[in-house]
Homo-oligomer: A and B are copies of this chain.
């Protein structure tokens, strides 16, 4: 990726001089001129008062709310190159997006490193801000104007993540994201998470997205008008060079660890009114034994999504250690490990360049989330997670 240098200013509140370089402020000014500041967040109540419109009609109330929302969100209606509030900018020959983020206090765990859920949430955030900056964002969760006209929403079908280093509390990071073609009807989205200070890449991710009809909840072809909107943004560049080709096996009732009766909470639903993907990962990781999580950290993850999870679904999370040496407790045994079907002792392994028991190499879990129905179970997502030893573990008494 090309190095570049760029400066831009961001502006604090300056009520006496509002006409500074703030994009898309026009509509806000119009409303403020009406002197409505004391009535509502964006001063929309004046519509009812000045025009004598009652607020007993639900339709009218909804219209006012939609208009108010548009003004408060201030979504760009055309391509925007920089956003001072989001600390974001368009890069890569005008197609990619870069955002600077500081790892916040509530995004880290007891060991002060960002949780995997926080990292995934930041990837989601930058993806949406990319669409935001493109001028294509409509009134949906990343949906373009063309998608809205066709009643379509985005759903993720596959996600792959590699984490080499975890950012810590207060660390300044940069996230790059861009999109590309994926077959005829899909879209890829990739990300790089990098230290702002050293440029070192901490994490890489790639994902595949398809479109779903919001009413029928069935997958849809990509309409030509949507392709025309998004294809100018496509880059032929991959964050992860060798994408995991193997199919994830489907677990059954023989899985070692099973958590049942997982119920979505209100706070687990996103703007598409289904359980957010990040919550799936939370359910998957909760099923891994605490003793294992104390000693190890996630280094990679592949997720294959099969079905969305609604607010009334009751979910079961299964997981199974996938490598010999993980058989008893989920914690790797030190006396042997299997290579090409041959069990080798720790001494031999160390002599052959393996890291040995103190610095276990990657080991993995297979996961399945399913909706437990009365007659049969329906898959939500299959997953595979790979792990490496933490340098210092944080006890979690249970």
Binding site for B on A (CB under 8 A): 3-17, 20, 25, 28, 32, 37-38, 40-43, 56, 58, 61-62, 65, 69, 72-75, 84-87, 89, 98, 100, 102, 104-106, 108-110, 112, 115, 117, 121, 124-125, 128, 132, 141, 165, 167-172, 174, 194-200, 202, 265-267, 269-271, 273, 276, 278, 282, 286, 290, 293, 310-312, 358, 391-392, 394, 396-398
Query: What is the distance, in angstroms, from A131's C-beta to the closest C-beta of chain B?
Result: 10
Query: What is the distance, in angstroms, from A9's C-beta to the closest C-beta of chain B?
Result: 5
A110-B270, A110-B271, A312-B398 known; 17 new pairs, CB 8 Å cut-off, are A5-B12, A13-B196, A37-B199, A41-B167, A43-B198, A61-B391, A61-B392, A62-B392, A65-B391, A65-B392, A72-B168, A73-B170, A74-B170, A105-B124, A105-B271, A265-B286, A269-B396
Asked if B14 and A4 make an inter-chain contact with CB atoms under 8 angstroms apart, the answer reads yes
Residues of chain B within 8 A of A266, CB atoms compared: 109-110, 290, 293, 396
Given contacts A106-B276, A124-B105, contact A397 B311 (CB under 8 A): yes
Asked if A106 and B85 make an inter-chain contact with CB atoms under 8 angstroms apart, the answer reads no
Cα separation A86 to B102 with both chains bound (whole Å): 7
Residues of chain B within 8 A of A10, CB atoms compared: 8-10, 84, 87, 100
| Chain A binding surface, main DSSP class | loop
Residues of chain B within 8 A of A199, CB atoms compared: 13, 15, 37
User: Which residue of B14, B56, B102, B105 is within 8 Å of A5 (Cβ)?
Assistant: B14
Cα separation A13 to B290 with both chains bound (whole Å): 38
Residues of chain B within 8 A of A61, CB atoms compared: 391-392
Given contacts A37-B199, A267-B282, contact A273 B85 (CB under 8 A): no
Asked if A106 and B132 make an inter-chain contact with CB atoms under 8 angstroms apart, the answer reads no
Residues of chain B within 8 A of A270, CB atoms compared: 105-106, 110
Residues of chain B within 8 A of A56, CB atoms compared: 358
Query: What is the distance, in angstroms, from A153's C-beta to the closest C-beta of chain B?
Result: 13
Cα separation A32 to B198 with both chains bound (whole Å): 7
Task: Determine the residue in chain B with the shortest Cβ distance to A73.
Answer: B170
